[in-house]
Amino acid sequence: MAYIGNTPSAVVQNVTSDGITDGTIQNVDIASDAAIAATKIAGLSTVATTGAYSDVTGTPTIPTDFVSAASGGTFGGNVNFGTNKITYSNVYSTVNDLPTASNFHGMFAHAHDTGKGYYAHGGNWIELVNVDANGDLDLSGELKADSYNETYVSLSGATPAVDCEAGNAFSIVLSAATTFTFTNPPASGTSFTFSVEVIQDASASGYAVTWPTVTWPAGTAPTLTATANAVDYFVFTTRDGGTTWRGFTAGQALA
């Protein structure tokens, strides 16, 4: 028999099979200890302070705080679980099923329909960013990183499309006269820059390249290096959604 809440300082032992009848504890061997009289156990109406086999009557009850917590109640103070873990399932079928955020500041929840996690702040559910997801990340402040990386994309064929949403560094080994297109630039007002590495074939075929409408320095497009395996680098930038592309030669005959 264990009690939840205050524990008597006296030792309670030798509870026989007939010591509990209809919810009443009787004939409990209590070690002599006057301190037990000062111990409060909910539901016990009589506690003898001396002698053995004194009658203890009444029905002990679980403290109200534990009952309410088990049925969805709240604690009035902090709960220290030590090194133990708290496991729970804050899963909701849809985003619309999330509770009112203002009532649960700091709460984490998962919405099954979007497959995303959210936390409650300022009366709103804030979507957590998935670093592996394809999409835009809009920061209102400065971004400071120890290392900045760009996605590299290998192109091929005679009509390669430079997809601005696929990466910032592109390359192609020419296999024929080639015509480039630039697709999916960001909307006007956002600057976007990418590089293209153009490599001639091993046979020094000297394939020509046709660019989209690009403004080059002095209005003249560069002439490609025509030797075998020659490498030329070009950089392109726009800030008006691709209406105007400006091109620059970053380096030629690099190999």
pLDDT of residue 73 exceeding 90, the answer is: no
| Mean pLDDT, all residues of the chain | 79
Q: Which residue has the tokens 């919405």?
A: 111
pTM equals 0.54
Q: Are 14 and 45 in contact (CB under 8 A)?
A: no
**Strand locations in the chain, DSSP E?**
12-13, 20-21, 24-25, 29-30, 44-46, 57-58, 91-92, 108-111, 116-121, 124-127, 152-155, 161-163, 169-173, 178-179, 181-183, 192-199, 209-210, 214-215, 231-238, 245-251
Look at residue 210 in the predicted model and tell me its pLDDT. Answer: 96
Look at residue 233 in the predicted model and tell me its pLDDT. Answer: 97
Range with the largest mean pLDDT of 84-93, 134-143, 167-176: 167-176
| Other beta carbons less than 10 A from residue 56's beta carbon | 21
pLDDT of residue 15 exceeding 90, the answer is: no
Look at residue 109 in the predicted model and tell me its pLDDT. Answer: 93
Instruction: Summarize pLDDT for 175-212 with one digit per residue, the tens.
Output: 999 999 999 999 999 999 999 999 999 999 999 999 99
Range with the largest mean pLDDT of 52-56, 75-79, 181-185: 181-185
Q: Give residue 71's pLDDT band: very low, low, confident or very high (50, 70, 90).
A: low
Q: Spell out the residues 6+ positions from residue 149 whose beta carbon is closer than 8 angstroms to its own.
A: none
pLDDT of residue 31 exceeding 50, the answer is: no
Instruction: Assign domain 91-127 to its CATH architecture.
Output: 3-Layer(aba) Sandwich (3.40)
Which sequence spans correspond to the domains of the chain?
A: 1-79, 91-127, 152-251
Q: Give residue 131's pLDDT band: very low, low, confident or very high (50, 70, 90).
A: low
